[in-house]
Amino acid sequence: MKVKDLFSDLQTKVFVVTNQDDENELNWIIEPTTFELIPEEENFYFVKACRIFPNHIAAIEAFKISEAYGSSSHYIYLELSNLYKRLGQMDESIKYEEKFKMEE
């Protein structure tokens, strides 16, 4: 996988660089690791700085606008719950899951 695809792997936090022949770092080849932190070995690593994905933030903002104007479907609450869960914001996830269940 290339560095530019780093966020396509939702589980891995630390990636090791296996090929850095390209001048553009986004095209370097990386492999997922099972590390939670950067190990004390000599090598190049890429780490997800935080587990927030821009497309999830944009989706949350769009769903919240829909909610503010009166959503056309209670499934918006389920989508918001799932998005917040992916971001690790469990309080918000639970809040929207409860809203979804109340509307069913």
Q: How far out from the chain centre does Cα 71 lie?
A: 25
pLDDT at 72: 66
* The model's pTM: 0.47
In this predicted structure, what is the pLDDT of residue 94? 95
Which of 35-65 are b and which e, b meaning 16 or more Cβ less than 10 Å from the residue's Cβ? eeeeeeeeeeebeeeeeebeeeeebbeebee
Q: What is the pLDDT of residues 17-71, one digit of tens each?
A: 888 888 887 788 888 888 877 777 777 776 655 444 566 777 787 778 777 777 6
SS (H, E, C) 62-103: HHHHHHHCCCCCCHHHHHHHHHHHHCCCHHHHHHHHHHHHHH
Q: Strands 45-47 and 29-32: what pairing?
A: unpaired
Backbone dihedral angles phi then psi of residue 38, each to the nearest 5 degrees: -70, 125
Q: Are 40 and 18 in contact (CB under 8 A)?
A: no
